[in-house]
Structure 1
Amino acid sequence: MPTVRENIAYTFEHFMLIYRGTLVRVARAVALIVLAALALEVFVFNVNYFASAEYRTIDLTDRLSLTQSDDGSYVLTDVDHVMEFWNLNTEVRNIRLAFDPDQPAQLISVKIQFTDDAHQTYFDSTEYTVGVPLADISTKVEQSMFVNLQTAGRVENLRIEIAGEGAGGEVSYPILLDGVYLNAHRPFAFSGWRFGAVLILLLGAYLFRPKSAIYRIRIVENPRKSKAGIVCAVAVEVALLTLFLFYGSNLVGVATAGYNYGSWDGASLVNTFEVGGDNAQQYAELAKSMAEGKLYLEEEPPQWLKDMADPYDKGARDEAQKATGEPYLFDVAYYDGHYYVYFGVVPVLLFHLPFYLLTGANFPTAIGVLVMAIAFVLGATALLDRFARYHFRAVSLGMYLLLQIPLVACSGILYLVKFPTFYSLPIMCGLAFSVWGLYCWSRSSMARHRCGWLFAGSLCMALVAGCRPQLLVLSFLAFPLFWRTYITERRLLTAAGAREFACLAAPYVMVAAGIMGYNYARFGSFTDFGANYNLTVNDMTKRGMNAGRLAPAFFTYFLQPPCMTGVFPFLQPAPFDTTYMGQTIKEVTFGGIFACLPVLWVLAFSKRILGMRARQRLTRTIMGVIVVLLGSGVVVALADAELAGILQRYYADFSFMFLAAAVLLYFVVNEQLARTRRAHDLMLKLLIALVCASVTYSLLLCLVPETGWYSNVYPWAYQDLLQTALFWK
């Protein structure tokens, strides 16, 4: 009998005999891509290093008239923060402001003015021109301390002023400056993050090029290769999700000796800490109350709130708070003298309560968001794989991945990971339970024992009610998925069918009983989740429904073009105007999904494509699924606007529905054009372009500076990211 070593050697030799040529070609291509990424990093992204190599540096430090500290640094204060140099009469290519790295980190906005051959006086922005923009400099990022200037000939006079406010907010004085230099030599800076990002982009471009072999690997005919490719793609997505979440360190709530070390306890390998302020601890506080057998929060509301005739009027609450000096909890439900959490209870039972009972500490909500984001990626991938393998036989690995990537990246979960707070957790849980519920339902059709899969699927779908009730509309997909089996074929009338239907319905009854009991114990009503008692920016008890809010919401959520600028990361908050003569709840948004996600444009041809499907198949399952997804997406978006408002995180409530419908339509088109080479290649090239544009928008949205995110809390560190991208500055 051959040994294990001999078996491994034989398998390896057999594998190499078959795939040696392919592996050699792939290895050669990867090596060339790595060299190309390396060349870009060294020679292109370090262009300033080579351009400044021949500069003759001029030291202006001795000409500073600022006070010096004991260690020799020059001190900029709120009174003396202007540096002016006269009679330079020299060409100026760049300025280096060498700030002392040992001072507290901050982002400083610097205003630079000069006179040159084209300007006899300092110039600034006018009605028709734009002057020299403010330069944002981090006291901890060396590359930001260099500012390239575009002058006309020789510079005569130079003025450098620390602006009172800028990208970094209010300036904190004193500021220590080691020196000022003209035409300074740029240091060589190899960025591992930039090199890795470029390498991934180049590998992706090579992998998904129209002539790639992955478009010839059909997932039905080549299950091993296709599953290996899918696993690799998911592993990369999970790794990137994890890195992105931990990049926003101010919202993570986890500390070690090398990560968030300012909140590290100095003893534990890992410890948790509170982030986001008092308002962000609702789930953690509810877990503590549940551990004591209570359903309301332990914190006692102030007496003035209990005495108010209408505690839900924000203006009146703010006035009472000013008069008494006693604060109240914001964005919690207030009812009968107690604070309650109106967000879904399932995340508490899933994460916070068990963690508190085991450790006595608050569960870091961001970790829960990450766990459920990964669960969503895995569930969406499995669901897509299920549909591709059992409903569309012509789907290739390339086509599958080309659609799986935007299904994940453009569904809104990246924005939830960007802000992994208790606001994001119930939405993320609802999405994860939904895709796994749909997967289990889909899996039941081919299983020998359907009851288990049906029960598991319905349990996941029912738990959505305790996370994000809006997403319960996805349960209506049961009609197109099961109608033919249980109604048309009358399986429901058989004993087996009756048992299966009981397994399908039982979890809904069980979960509904639990949630209704939870609602009744808190508010005396089986159907009251407590959202109307929310202490928020408007009186939810009187919000009601108004058709006037639908038009601006529809435009914002679906049709509004993105607002762009010419500076990385390019996206800006979209403007908002309305003729609705009432209060509109609105946070910053960045454009409607149909304008910003070109991959969805296929939905405009839904009727024609569904007609193609009808001619291909006698069954109408896919058609029914697409119709329910589209209808559900519109209903959820407009319901969100009516009940709560227009917020960027709410895009995650409905984006997946439209993306899933679009994916199925692309599968139908791919099936129809599989035998027509030229038309199929044209469709593939168009799809690649649409996917690239959609994913690019979603990735840039992750990096847009926003209040409360890393860019706002640590603007001096965020500047490092900007300098990495804007390498030519």
Structure 2
Amino acid sequence: MLNKFPASAKKYLFILILALIAEVYFFNFRYWRTLIPEEQSIPLSEITTNENLSFEENRFRLLSADSVKCLFPYSGELKSVTFSTSVSGNTAPYVYYINTVNTACNSSYRIEDHTIKQSVTVYDTEGSELFYKERISSLSEENSLFINLPSGDYYILTEFSYTNSALSGAAYIDSVYVNKTIPFEFNFIRFLTVAILLLIIIMFAPGSKIWDKPLNRPAAVMMPAVIAFVIFICIGVSNPIWLNETPPVDSYGEITKALAKGHFFTDLEPSEELLQMEDPYDYEAREQNEIEYLLDYAYFDGKYYVYFGVVPSVIAFLPYYLITGKMLSYSACFFLVLAFFLSGLALFLSSYIKRYHGNISYGSYLSSYALVLLMSSVNVLFFAWLNYSIPQFFAVTFLIWGFYFYTKAGMQTASEKKLIAAGSFCFALIAGCRPQLAFCALIAYPLLKDKMLKKNTLCYWLAFSIPFVIVAAPLMYYNYARFGSVTDFGAYYNLTVGQIHKQPFSLSGYKSALLFYLFTIPQFTHEFPWISYHIPNLMAENVTDNLAGYFIVFPIAMVSLFYWPHKSGKDKSCTIFRILLVFLSFFVIAVAYFYLGIRYIFDFAVLFGIESIVMLMDLEKNNKTRKFAHLIILISILLGILYYFLYFSGSYANMLSLNFTAPECWYRIYKTVCFWK
């Protein structure tokens, strides 16, 4: 019967069957394991307790939040012990973070009140300890600890402790079971996830037909962008604080209202103490004297300014405010830019690969898009306050579109001058978002040199340069009107946790930045998500959290630095393009070395990602290394998915971690992944 199905249908059917088997038998192995022996209910009257338990209404009431102990004997095979606990008057218990203490930075994250810590110790009849285990879970669910001891006579000692600072009701132990059968649970999300991972592995495995399928439909170019947009929508919706709340530093709300009134300073009033300070930028003096000030605003000549790039306000926030009278939400603006970022990346990659590699396979394009998207670290922005992410995202989006317009202009097209002008306009706008990324306009040389240098006509140069002048003139006036200098964007006047204006560039600081961003070794833990943020011991100021260095997560980016084959002709442009991408990546790190934080990786990550793809495409077009390139791409994609899933489930300082903003969602993820607990 299966012979009647086409090969592709058989492949998909095989994936579904394999995922189904994994869900039914592997992920539910506790159910099959606890079918035998038969479960037994332990009468509460046979349980010996200390003074912190009171028998009321056929159940135990916990009289203390600590050192609650109960002991009972058991004879037979011991697979598990289950305590059913409940809380009267509470309906929404959560677990915020199971691995609560972060030893690397000597800090801890709170567990939601209404969680319980349970430890079980099993002794034999002679008093020797045979087993010990502890776990943290919700007070309103059954707490099973799996033991797996052979038949014998045992004494089981269980100790409970829980947080009760906001507990409005009483905590109870309702029942106790030994060898309780774990309910069978078919988790559709887990089943679907396994099926998708298997599909990725089979689809992009070396030798798969997708590597030979031509990319001959324009609609197929945008398909990965649409899929990615849907995925990111789901990620954003899962983080309610990120999605719905205005950041504490409402930078774009303030500058938008100021621009609508016709001036560049905000309406925020500085305190009298700040006005009287001799050096208001001295962070230690502000803290020691308890000076009231607004964090992350530029302060100059008695007024507060916004030092973040003004272009996002002019393009998005201000028009919306003038039309509706309401402020555009940060998350809505973010998703709007996300759509342009994803579509621009699709257009750039397809154009670049077609220009330098001719006809490409759909597999090459699809895998390249997925890998660059993962290597761009865009998901990091979903856990940072959006007032910081918006200018970064605008800048990188303009960068990608600038790459696309320049790449397209370098091909044989009738509208090449318009494309050059559009690319220059995008790169010019970067200066009003993230000024250090404006230097990426150097990419114009390898992408446009065949047009600009050989034809050498005035029209091409005017198309290239006029957009920079059009954008630069108002930006320079904007800076001069605020700070008296056409090149001063206000970062040095920022009231932050340091003194940027007193920090000269130093090689030791740059070295620390390289170690932090590229080579931070991950810190592993024994609890989900098994990786924890930590603050590396670096000789640099203002170091915050990081999970792992970029080269540790994506070693392909580091390997690509050492791959420089001799090129000539058209391929020489690819080599120059790669050299500039690497140079610009390290340059951006040098500019951002003063304040080290995980979200700044987004500034340079996409440059490393594109550079790696250029190398892989070079390997892919060589028949001897083609399958090797496919294997490297597949492994890199899987590593990226794994890392960012752990990132998505982790907890970080100064970030909107999911286990802090949406604990119910995080706990469902925890229960889905840790199926053995």
Please give the TM-score of this superposition, normalised by the length of structure 2: 0.88
What is the match of residue 577 of structure 1? 537
Letter in 2 for 1:516: M
CA distance in 1, matches of 2:371, 2:525: 24
The separation in 1 between residues aligned to 2:388 and 2:125, in whole angstroms, is 54
Q: Which amino acid aligns with 1:725?
A: V
Task: Classify 1:211/1:177 alpha carbon distance in 2 versus 1 (closer, same or farther; 3 Å).
Answer: farther
Alignment of 1:710-729 (within 5 A): 710-729=658-677
Q: SS where residue 114 of structure 1 aligns?
A: strand
Query: Is 1:148 the equivalent of 2:146?
Result: yes
Q: Which residue of 2 aligns with 1:470?
A: 436
Name the structure 1 match of 2:73. 88
Pair 1:81–1:567, CA change in 2 (3 A): closer
Q: Is 2:632 the partner of 1:633?
A: no
| Deviation at residue 476 of structure 1 after TM alignment | 0.4
Kindly provide the CA deviation profile for residues 637-666 of structure 1, in whole angstroms up to 9, marking residues without a partner as x.
Answer: 12210xx32111111111111111111111
Deviations 1:294-314 (A, max 9, x none): 322222121111111222222
Please give the residue correspondences for 1:481-496 in structure 2 after superposition, counting only pairs within 5 Å: 481-487=447-453, 489=454, 491-492=455-456
Helix, strand or coil for the counterpart of 2:174?
Answer: strand
Aligned partners of 1:23, 1:694: CA distance in 2, in Å?
Answer: 34
- CA distance change for structure 1 residues 75 and 228 in 2, over 3 Å: closer, same or farther? farther
Residue by residue over 1:589-625, the C-alpha shift from the partner in whole angstroms, topping out at 9 and shown as x without a partner, is 1222222202224414322x2x1x33xx356211111
Residue of structure 2 aligned with 1:192, choices 174, 179, 188: 188
Residue aligning to 1:99:
86
Q: Name the structure 1 match of 2:40.
A: 57
Establish whether residue 410 from structure 1 lines up as the match of residue 410 from structure 2.
Answer: no
What is the SS of the residue equivalent to 1:39? helix
Equivalent pairs counted in the alignment come to 643
Q: Which runs of 5+ in 1 are unaligned?
A: 1-20, 125-130, 254-273
Q: Is the 8 A contact 1:74 1:178 kept in 2?
A: yes
CA contact (8 A) 1:706 1:712 kept: no
**Structure 1 residues 691 and 301: alpha-carbon distance in aligned structure 2, compared to 1, 3 A threshold:** same
Deviations 1:201-220 (A, max 9, x none): 1221221122311111243x
Of 635, 653, 662, 2:612 maps to 662
Query: Could you say which structure has the higher strand fraction?
Result: 2
Whole-angstrom CA distance in 2 between matches of 1:619 and 1:206: 32
Structure 1 segment 524-673 matched on structure 2, within 5 A:
524-578=484-538, 580=539, 584-607=541-564, 609=565, 611=566, 613-614=567-568, 617=569, 620-641=572-593, 644-671=594-621, 673=622
Secondary structure of 2:290's aligned partner: helix
The answer to whether structure 1 residue 285 and structure 2 residue 254 are counterparts is yes
1:304-350 per-residue CA deviation (whole Å, 9 max, x = no partner) reads 1111122222232223337xxxx432111111222211111112223
CA displacement, residues 194-243 of structure 1 (integer Å, 9 cap, x when unaligned): 12211211221221122311111243xxx12xx45443333222211111
RMSD across aligned C-alpha pairs, in angstroms? 2.9
Do the aligned residues in 2 keep the contact of 1:532 with 1:540 (CA within 8 Å)?
yes
Question: Is the partner of 1:160 in helix, strand or coil?
Answer: strand
The corresponding residue for 1:271 is none
Alignment partner of 2:420: what SS? helix
The Cα shift of 1:532 comes to 0.8
Q: Which residue of 1 aligns with 2:160?
A: 161
Partner Cα distance (1:421, 1:710) in 2:
15
Q: How far did 1:364 drift?
A: 2.1
Other structure's SS at 2:562 match: helix
Q: Secondary structure at the match of 2:127?
A: coil
Q: Distance in 2 between matches of 1:556 and 1:123?
A: 44
Structure 1 position 243 matched with structure 2 position 268: no
* 1:304–1:320 CA contact under 8 A, matched in 2: no
Distance apart, 1:394 and its partner CA: 5.7
Match of 2:269 among 300, 322, 327: 300
What's the counterpart of residue 256 of structure 1?
Answer: none
Q: 2:630 aligns with which of 660, 666, 684?
A: 684
The answer to whether the 8 Å contact 1:214/1:398 transfers is yes
Aligned residue for 1:179, secondary structure, equals strand
Partners of 2:71 and 2:155 within 8 A in 1? yes
TM alignment of 1:317-332, pairs within 5 A: 317-321=286-290, 327-332=292-297
Counterpart in 2 of 1:259? none
Matches for 1:204-283 after TM superposition, within 5 Å: 204-219=200-215, 223-224=216-217, 227=218, 229-253=220-244, 274-276=245-247, 278-279=248-249, 281-283=250-252
Shift of 1:151: 5.7
Verify the 8 A CA contact 2:59 2:175 in the aligned structure 1: no
- 88 and 216 in structure 1: CA distance in 2 versus 1, 3 angstrom threshold: same
Aligned residue in 2 for 1:388:
353
Structure 1 residue matching 2:620: 3-state secondary structure = helix
**Aligned residues with identical type, % of pairs:** 24
Conserved 8 A contact 2:240-2:662: no
Alignment partners' CA distance in 2, 1:105 and 1:467: 42
8 A contact 1:410–1:698 mirrored in 2 = no
Shift of 1:463: 0.8
Instruction: Specify the code of the residue in structure 2 equivalent to 1:159.
Output: T
1:521 corresponds, among 463, 481, 494, to 481
Summarize the Cα distance change of 1:319–1:181 in structure 2 as closer, same or farther, 3 Å threshold.
Answer: same
TM-superposed CA distance for 1:103, in Å, is 3.0
**Any idea what the Cα deviations from partners look like across 1:430-476, whole Å, max 9, x if unmatched?**
11111111111111232202222122111111111111112112100
SS of aligned partner of 1:312: coil
Residue in 2 that maps onto 1:132: 133
Instruction: Give 1:171 deviation, angstroms.
Output: 7.0
What is the identity, as a one-letter code, of the residue corresponding to 1:52?
A: T
Q: Is the 8 A contact 2:201 2:634 kept in 1?
A: no
Consecutive unaligned residues of structure 2, counting only runs of 5 or more, are: 96-114
Answer yes or no: is the 8 Å Cα contact 2:476–2:486 preserved in 1.
yes
CA distance in 2, matches of 1:114, 1:646: 45
The alpha carbon displacement at 1:30 in A equals: 1.5
Letter in 1 for 2:618: V
Label 1:72 to 1:35 Cα distance change in 2 as closer, same or farther (>3 A). same
Deviations 1:11-40 (A, max 9, x none): xxxxxxxxxx99822223212322322232
Quote how far apart the aligned CAs of 1:633 are: 0.5
Which residue in the other structure is 2:171 paired with? Answer: 176
Residue 201 of structure 1 corresponds to which residue in structure 2?
197
Report what 2:396 is aligned to: 431
2: distance between equivalents of 1:503 and 1:118?
A: 89
Q: Secondary structure at 1:53's aligned position in 2?
A: coil
SS at 1:541's partner residue? Answer: helix
The SS at the match of 2:69 is strand
Q: Distance in 2 between matches of 1:147 and 1:113?
A: 8
Corresponding position of 2:334 = 369
The DSSP-based 3-state class of the residue aligned with 1:398 is helix
Q: Is the contact made by 1:598 and 1:694 (CA closer than 8 Å) also made in structure 2? A: no
Q: CA deviation at 1:154?
A: 5.1
Q: Retained in 2: the 8 A contact 1:138–1:716?
A: no
User: Shift of residue 378 of structure 1?
Assistant: 1.5
- Which structure dedicates a bigger proportion of its chain to helix? 1
State the TM-score, normalizing by the size of structure 1. 0.82
Mark the CA change 1:682 to 1:437 in structure 2 (over 3 Å): closer, same or farther: closer
Does the Cα contact within 8 Å between 1:96 and 1:184 map onto a contact in 2?
A: no
C-alpha change, 1:76 and 1:516, in structure 2 (3 Å) is farther
Secondary structure at the counterpart of residue 588 of structure 1: coil
Instruction: Look up the SS of the partner of 2:543 in the other structure.
Output: coil
What residue number does 1:10 align with? Answer: none
